[in-house]
Amino acid sequence: MRVVNQPVMKKDAMALVTGKPVFMDDLVPEGALLIKVKRSPHAHALIEEIDVSRALKIPGIEAVYTYKDVPNLRFTMAGQTYPEPSPYDRLILDRHLRFVGDAVAIVAGTDEKAVEKAMRLIKVRYQILEPILDFHEAKDNPILIHPEENWEAKCPVGADNHRNLCASDVSGHGDIEKVLSECDEVVEHTYHVKANQQAMMETFRTYAFMDTYGRLNLFSSTQIVFHVRRIIANALGIPKSKVRVSKPRIGGGFGAKQTVVAEIYPAFVTWKTGKPSKIIYTREESQIASSPRHEMEVTVRVGAMKDGRIRGIDLYTLSNTGAYGEHGPTTVGLSGHKSISLYGRLEAHRFAYDVVYTNRMSAGAYRGYGATQGIFAVESAVNELADRLHMDPVALREKNMVKEGEIMPSYYNEKNTSCALDRCMARAKAMMGWNEKFPKREMGNGKVRSVGVAMAMQGSGISGVDVGSASVKLNDEGFYVLRIGAADMGTGCDTILAQMAAECLDCDYQEITVFGADTDASPYDSGSYASSTTFVTGQAVVKACTELKQRIRKKASQLLELPEEDLEFDGKRVWDPASGKEVSLAQIATSSMSGNDLAFEVTESHSSPTSPPPFMVGMVEIEVDKETGKVEILDYVAVVDCGTPVNPNLARVQTEGGIAQGIGMALYENIQYNEKGKLRNNSLMQYKIPTRQDVGRLRVEFESSYEESGPFGAKSIGEIVINTPSPALAHAVHNATGVWIRELPITPEKILKGMMEHGH
């Protein structure tokens, strides 16, 4: 291939590194009203009385809105396809406040000082209610987080607001109790993953204005322009035709911007006042009132025989959706389906879950989307199983890992059509020097070096649900415009999709101008989430370009007066090898503008009935100081099967970034609430994420399979890369210290405490 599988530079690289104005606030005109949200100081309360009269007297204040001013229309902020699995449990502003940071009032004014002063002058009397802060106590608790009668679940996900349930289900195959009772060894433990913040550099932000035609326009840092349009229309109770949503460059999302965290506030203000407005979340707001990863507690039972044959896996997940149900019913499924399925030929499995409401900040989408939590649990349990069986954990996995061609009952009975997991394991083992380093080496002075291993899988879009679309148009002089609805949030999808188009059209990728995403101008796309863009939207690009190429040949046939089947297209011209007659692409483009009835713009959509998983093996080498419990990462080896890497450089940095995030989750990121439900980690001073110096040496390689259903054999890369660090690091810590740590993050205090308890 000439363009695909080549490490070309990102299309927006120079604009970004030279500091061009590309992000939302760079592009917003002067004069927009500034919006801020007054937030609840209580975890659970009712507003008894709210007085905004003094706030309205402040010079520069345009409006102050409370629950009395908003529509009584429940909606969800989760940016997923329709019908939405997440319950309709929100109002723009509600009298019933459900977490510290919940919205109490919206203030809009001409300058920041006036708005902040007005917020202080809003007087609120609260009826403080008893909160549910421990998610173990939520299910069937007499305290109800959502007692309202207009709460609604549009999909049958096992939701019941009278039981504080956002979702609940049980699935499986075979008789798991019988199989586990026959096993020689059964490992059973509970693993706890706390909520994690995406901590993207660009916080949540949106600009709203009314256009000439009386339509509400939103310019937002979002991954999901089409879902934002629907959600805003639902919340305001207006026709979707009255809403337009577009996005600039995005300064990171990682799933956080798959939820309509900030858009609703300027949308409401501008719709009410007719004036342009904007909101920019502070870092504190992004920490306390956003959409972090779901806290999950995963209980796993893994049963095997003495020879290492794993026969059954039983998994139960308790997930904390917080005050609202965004992504609650959908994240939890991945905790089982994307972890159990790593192991093939199981005689039985069971996967059950409950997703509960609590008085914590509501959770949302974050890279890995539930698979991260489940893989930490299952891979940790498998590592402990290997320890009990006195087997090398690599050998145990080689014996049991899922193979290409196998049916995966725990993965919706899909066939594993492309899988290089065995080659990923072999290559990682060689790169790490596993046989020489496993399990540990004493270095003297109380320091020990050890290694750990984990596998992971994810998906490529949501099978039978996600829709990707692309429009490609031939323009004057023979260049192309590719219009997409997917959102490049730093991932490079504009570049990758341009590479695919260029490969199809036999041109340089720089000859493809990419436009997106805009609900008026872009073809419908589910959005950039669920590892779908390369696989799903990429296939739409291939289909559209293939059809356009046929039309170019057809037009050339008319111009040359030769049979279409005799002509060849090389990207610059269409020619007849027999006669030597030719017509240039520029001539074809020009001729299409006069007396032409053949459209040179093609729109195609794609939805896949399957979601072929990418696979990954991660191995880590650490040094532990037994006197302090400090963990230092020396080397991290990752080998990924993402089918055909469309752009190896971008795939590599995606992998490195995901590993860094996974390391942060495993070792540093420690969400903590006080006894009243207030988040302590409200800034990046308190919420520690790793720097480049903290992640050690990262080495990334690819073992490519070829996925027939993907564009040029490609699968996804975006999410899988975050999933191996936590279990691999927990394994390495055990090999160094003898301590299994089952709650993240793995801190020096936990290591020392575990060593003391075990007499090490």
Read off the pLDDT of residues 694-738 as tens digits, 9 standing for 90 and up: 999 999 999 999 999 999 999 999 999 999 999 999 999 999 999
Q: Residue 760: is its pLDDT beyond 80? A: no
Contact between 354 and 165 under an 8 Å Cβ cutoff? The reply is: yes
Query: Which tens digit of pLDDT belongs to each residue from 527-538?
Result: 999 999 999 999
Query: Which tens digit of pLDDT belongs to each residue from 1-29?
Result: 899 999 999 999 999 999 999 999 999 99
Rounded distance between C-alpha atoms, residue 461 and residue 170, angstroms: 23
In Å, what is the CA distance from 258 to each residue of 379, 528, 561?
28, 8, 51
Torsions phi, psi of 472, nearest 5? -125, 135
* pLDDT score, position 81: 86
Give the mean pLDDT of 37-45.
Answer: 98
The percentage of the chain sitting over the pLDDT mark of 90, rounded to a whole number, equals 98
On average, the pLDDT of the chain sits at 97
Q: Residue 598: is its pLDDT beyond 80? A: yes
Rounded distance between C-alpha atoms, residue 435 and residue 423, angstroms: 16
In Å, what is the CA distance from 9 to each residue of 14, 587, 645, 690?
9, 30, 14, 27
As given in the structure block, the two tokens for residue 19 are 């500091």
Rounded distance between C-alpha atoms, residue 287 and residue 289, angstroms: 6
Rounded distance between C-alpha atoms, residue 336 and residue 331, angstroms: 10
Give the mean pLDDT of 553-561.
Answer: 96
Rounded distance between C-alpha atoms, residue 27 and residue 25, angstroms: 5
Query: Which tens digit of pLDDT belongs to each residue from 110-169?
Result: 999 999 999 999 999 999 999 999 999 999 999 999 999 999 999 999 999 999 999 999
Rounded distance between C-alpha atoms, residue 713 and residue 711, angstroms: 5
Give the mean pLDDT of 439-463.
Answer: 97
Rounded distance between C-alpha atoms, residue 308 and residue 314, angstroms: 17
* pLDDT score, position 758: 84
pTM comes to 0.97
Q: Residue 297: is its pLDDT beyond 80? A: yes
As given in the structure block, the two tokens for residue 725 are 């660090």
CB count within 10 Å of CB 568 equals 12
Bridge pairing between strands 440-444 and 447-457? antiparallel
Contact between 148 and 94 under an 8 Å Cβ cutoff? The reply is: no
* pLDDT score, position 82: 86
| DSSP 8-state class, residue 135 | G
**Which amino acid makes up residue 544?**
A
